[in-house]
Structure 1
């Protein structure tokens, strides 16, 4: 990983570039969400990928990569918010200009499939990025106030702190740990293995979350991370939301539970493990900075960064 650099805080009147580096979504909903951001006092520049279609992708690999490169290089854009996840960011990782990203550090925000870009940008540009709700999340009905509150942090260099004020936390393995925050969506983290963008967890706090995966699929992916040494290398493990990851309801199918699978592959690593974070495919979806130093304390039910993620 390159030496870390942080993006600058946003000011009212700054421009947020909106791009779709993975899948495409409802243009109508994205326009409504963009209007909400403008209501906060920011300008919004909508990328062309928001209206492009290439199967399940928001344009070809070249189109999506060129737009993301262009937004990082554009001096009139101060932040980049991903429109949605889906699939496709791993396809453009080789096409990104990481030296340009490093020369033009700016706030980069997204989750789910965007996890692959978080890993790639951290490794080759060293930029602190943010695992948080995206444009289409703002277009959902009854958006949780804490989800909306994430966007107030763009202009304040505050230190991230997560306690049980959001939701109950459960210690699956007691202990204290510290290190650089890394991780994201489990499926995407596994897809980095064996590539030039493989996630490095050595001495770091590893965050994992996922959605819509039955325990046997989680079993396969967690086992792969375990065999790759990612849990053994980590200093501690943060379990975000695993939405709709319960065993099948058919009575003629037997299954391990999510808790059993986590015990076999994650807890067995002997590192502090704290579960229940409302991070990922959930409501509220709390944004967390990736690439900053933090400490995890299961006794205090606490995850706290030791430094601001922006300046």
Structure 2
């Protein structure tokens, strides 16, 4: 299993560290516009192998050096401002960056599953799908997997139950246009009610990423663990269910859009879409949020430029 990471900022470096610690591949390639940064990370991780149970080959280079990978993680991004208040603020610059790098990545890694981590992830997943020419199943955005994890953690603190025992999805945009699916949220086969307390927790979930960001200047630990969850599932063909960003022609009556929905993931990427029964509130949330997400994508991803 050959895995490559494009973009060795704080998120990319933390993903790489987790991959090495968890032994998720045999070959790990780190690529960055600043090649010395990638070389430094590779050397540092090589020095960690003596403490790991699973050895691997760790190399580094430029983005054009990434070839024949099974999985390519794309965490490349323009620098962020300390005053960042919306992921969409990164949109125009990251769209330009992706237009520059995605065609080459796709050409050099024709059999890879592409995992998009950079923000705004929904628009960039759409753009990556279009620019790469890959099947939609082979381009995955990390999307609301991280929001769903945050939601489970906050609910677990309220319910006094381990977060891994809760099933509660946040769907839609990894951003303000997301919504919880309370009608399908359960713990031990008991429903998790849509009440005022749980709605307040969800509102905190929507702001959680920026809360962390404004405290420490970036987010990296949880997002890296979420990425490794997807990587492991693809690498080991685990057929696990996750809320992830994908382009689709139609889902639950929404046409031609790209955001997080429940999917089954395995070695070939997204194996199938799941179609939970939504209640009236959730159907309204889906339709209204989908319109705003599509508008954001249309504004950012002008494929003719």
Q: TM-score scaled to structure 2, two decimals?
A: 0.38
User: Relative contact order (C-alpha < 8 Å, sep 6+): which is higher?
Assistant: 1
From the two aligned structures, give the one with the greater helix fraction.
2
Q: TM-score scaled to structure 1, two decimals?
A: 0.37
